[in-house]
A and B are shown apart, each in its own frame.
Chain A
């Protein structure tokens, strides 16, 4: 499985933007980049995914580097409810069924 690397933890102030980085230097051309988050005591929750182009949805934006070796999840205005562990996951074309979770980034949002 291609590996991802994320910072263990990040802090943000409420209502400020947050940029959560992920490195995936061994990504293959057909791997999709997915982001999930896990709020305390809950199951993982889908956030966003992309292949090459930047993506936006109601929850967040995903910025993908041109060489695809890194990506950044952007929360435009962090709220207290966004405090969670954020996982960057590569979904491989041939093993598309499973998600391989790493340690993720624990985001703390300060009021």
Chain B
């Protein structure tokens, strides 16, 4: 069964450093998402992406964050200057239709630890 993959599984970085989290969505999917989950808290929506553009973003997704689909298979989340509060699990998801009936398939997540 096709699945969303994410690398690395765990990233440790120093505060102020840039990190890039990578995702390979399911191959025929067109809609891509990033969510994050701070330890012990809810899963929070960050951004949705379709047709090489951001479709929607949350208040969390400020200028420190950016997303890119650099080639036909990868979808990346960049955090330019990490803060301690960026420590969280980051989940990538993809879907094929993008509508209200759509199933979103989530990856296993990248645990980001900012020291």
Say if the beta carbon of B33 comes within 8 Å of chain A. yes
Contact in complex: A93, B103 (CB < 8 Å): no
Cα A97 to Cα B44 in complex, Å, equals 13
Chain B residues, CB < 8 A from A49: 101, 103
A81–B46 Cα distance when bound, in Å, is 29
Task: Determine whether the beta carbon of B103 is less than 8 Å from that of A46.
Answer: yes
Is A98 an interface residue, CB under 8 A from the partner? yes
Question: Is B33 a contact partner of A97 (Cβ separation < 8 A)?
Answer: yes
Would you call the interface of chain A mostly helix, strand, loop, or mixed?
loop
Bound CA span A101–B55, Å: 19
Q: Which of A43, A87, A101 contacts B109 (CB 8 A)?
A: A43
The answer to whether A70 has its CB under 8 Å from any CB of chain B is no
Give the docked Cα–Cα distance between A51 and B109 (Å).
29
Residue of B nearest to A45 (CB): B106
Contact B98 A96 (CB under 8 A): yes
A residues 1-58 touching B (CB-CB < 8 Å): 30-32, 38, 42-46, 49, 51
Contact check, A43 vs B56: say whether CB atoms are below 8 A apart. Answer: no
Q: Flag if A44 contacts B43 (CB, 8 Å).
A: yes
When C-beta atoms are compared, the residue in chain A nearest to B55 turns out to be: A97
Q: Is there contact, CB below 8 Å, between A99 and B42?
A: no
Cross-chain contact A96 with B43 (CB below 8 angstroms): no
**B residues touching A (Cβ–Cβ < 8 Å)?**
4, 31, 33, 35, 42-45, 48, 50, 55-56, 58, 91, 93, 98-109
Which residues in A have some Cβ–Cβ distance to B below 8 Å? 30-32, 38, 42-46, 49, 51, 87, 91-93, 95-103
